[in-house]
Amino acid sequence: MTHALAQKLDSYEALSDQDRWALDGLVLRTRQVGAHVDLIREGEAPENVHLILDGFACRYKVLPNGQRQIMAYFVPGDFCDLNVFILDEMDHNIGTISPCRVVDIPRRSIDEITARYPNITKAFWWCALVDEAVLREWLVNIGGRPPNQRIAHLLCELHTRLEAVGCVTDNSFSFPFTQIDLADTMGLSNVHVNRTIRELKALGLITLKQRTLTILDVDRIKAYCHFTPNYLHLRNTRWGDRRSVSWINREQ
């Protein structure tokens, strides 16, 4: 069985057949959740780790005036706060953006798999560290980039993350996000988001049709927003070196 979680973790740490078998055991029980549904809300006590296998979700907070701030997007293969069960109560909300296939993983299962499978434990560490790196980049995005580059950078990030889990075809991927979602993510008005999307289309960088976004020139849009994917750490160079040595040994 191949699923988004195994594909993602294999980018961080080389997984054995036993590791993959153990991961398959985590995702046996899935549930379908509709769009715009909260998986858990601020103030609730977390009991499970939520894993997104299909669809898109987000981490967000709502201010007293009703304004929403989205602080993270979750794509297939992403945990929604891997260590969330350590908290007494949630300090933010996690909700779906599109229909999602979700796994609710008990703390006991996380403890058991990390105790028995060191490669999976290391890959889980990578997940947590990359989540922090993405948050840092989002802070830079909002505070340091002009709006047009801000949105282009987000599109490049989504393309890179989705490609890593096999969800991109010919530089096209599902894009269920509304202008309101993007505005609440980027700290912009709906009007500004609309204007920026039209600008990116006019520059020949993207198309957006029927909730599918296509990047027409990956190199050019990356240059346009100065996108460097190093913060996503999707290619563990140490893993790459080990794999190269492994293949050399096999050939000998």
- Rounded to two decimals, the pTM is 0.89
Please list, residue by residue across 3-31, b when 16 or more beta carbons sit within 10 angstroms of its beta carbon and e when fewer do. Answer: bbbbbbbbbbbbbeeebbebbeebbeeee
In this predicted structure, what is the pLDDT of residue 242? 41
SS3 annotation, 162-192:
HHHCCCCECCEEECCCCHHHHHHHHCCCHHH
In this predicted structure, what is the pLDDT of residue 157? 97
Rounded Cα gap, residues 4 and 155, in angstroms:
20
Nearest Cα residue to 12 out of 116, 127, 114: 127
In this predicted structure, what is the pLDDT of residue 239? 38
Residue 13: strand, helix, or coil: coil
Residue type (1 letter), 212? T
Instruction: Quote the domain boundaries for residue 242.
Output: 4-251
In this predicted structure, what is the pLDDT of residue 2? 54
Tokens for 165?
A: 């889990």
- Compute, in degrees rounded to 10, the torsion defined by CA atoms 228, 230, 231, 234: 120
Tokens for 43?
A: 């103030």
Q: How many domains does the chain fold into?
A: 1
pLDDT digits (tens, 9 = 90+) for 196-225: 999 999 999 999 999 999 999 999 999 999
Cα–Cα distances in Å, from 199 out to 103, 206, 207? 38, 9, 11
10 Å CB burial of residue 229 (0-12, 13-18, 19+) is middle
Q: What is the CATH number of the domain that holds 174?
A: 2.60.120.10
Distance in Å from the first CA to the final CA of the chain: 30
10 Å CB burial of residue 226 (0-12, 13-18, 19+) is exposed
Residue 247: strand, helix, or coil: helix
Q: Report the 10 Å Cβ neighbour count for 170.
A: 7
Residue 202 has phi, psi (to 5 degrees) of -65, -30
Q: Which residues of the chain have pLDDT under 50?
A: 1, 237-252
